[in-house]
Amino acid sequence: MTTRRLKGITLIELVVGFSVFTLLLVVLAAALNRSREVWRRASASNSSQTELRKAFWALDRDLKESTFQTVRASTGPISLSGFDGDAVWFLSAQDPTTGEFLRTDDGHPRWQRNILYYSVVPDQHGQTFGFNCAGGADDDGYEAFCPHKILVRKVINNPPGAAGPTIGSEDQELLTDVAPYLTRPQGYTISTSGQPGLESATIAAKNLQSFRAALEPNPGWENEVAFTLAATRIEEASRTHRIGSEALDSFTQTFNFSLFPPEE
């Protein structure tokens, strides 16, 4: 009678099987890491694009209630090592109660309020974001390192004096100096005290890298208000860079657009 001996797994087979299993684990781990990186990048990109769109929608909505002749632009406040961005302000004929566009009997806009936009690095930065941005200026003198700037929108009531408005209507005069209103919020809290005629102050967008504006920069394009906005993919950049202490150009998304307020 012949007996059959059971054949076990040889050492070579065991080593090969273990190697294949290990290789599969390595490939799977790499795929998971890659998927995680793609998701993180997409999430960061979506966050920055959302803020850029919010800024565009706010500016587009308000400038439709104005005219190009009342739009002004200047450099904004300085918080770190350069201008935080630009400031843009203009008259609005929107009724603050009904939202209607008001006109005088002869068809001209009946101005109701001044609208001001400016970007700024918020105060109490360390408490808000967990660290302070060191900051750094670009060749044009604008702060270029901190990606936490916020776009502030203010509504200001500036009725004309007894002599009447220089630019405006009998109800509202265009501000000639907005410096008293270019304040730094405490984190995301905007103070309204000590600013004559200020009725409201809100955040139009946050986590911006830059906010620039220019009036009729392109010859032949009348009534153009050109904007350049930038936002950084902060979550992605923070894994490899020191946020607020160096340039983050490779993680920055730029949005260039122009708006054309009507003529009066």
Which contacts qualify for 6-11: CB closer than 8 Å, 24 or more apart?
Answer: none
Give CA angle at 258 (136, 94), nearest 5°.
105
Token pair of 28 as six digits: 């799977």
> Could you state, in order of their start, the residue ranges of all structural domains in the chain?
13-259
pLDDT along the chain (264 residues), means of 10: 58 70 75 63 70 96 96 96 96 91 88 97 90 91 95 95 72 93 93 89 96 94 96 86 87 94 85
pLDDT of residue 2: 56
Whole-prediction pTM = 0.83
For 139, 214, 223, the CA distances from 218, given in Å and listed in that order, are 22, 9, 10
Answer yes or no: are the C-beta atoms of 113 and 157 closer than 8 Å.
Answer: yes
pLDDT of residue 163: 60
pLDDT of residue 238: 82
Token pair of 247 as six digits: 């340039």
Give the whole-angstrom CA distance, residue 167 versus residue 123.
34
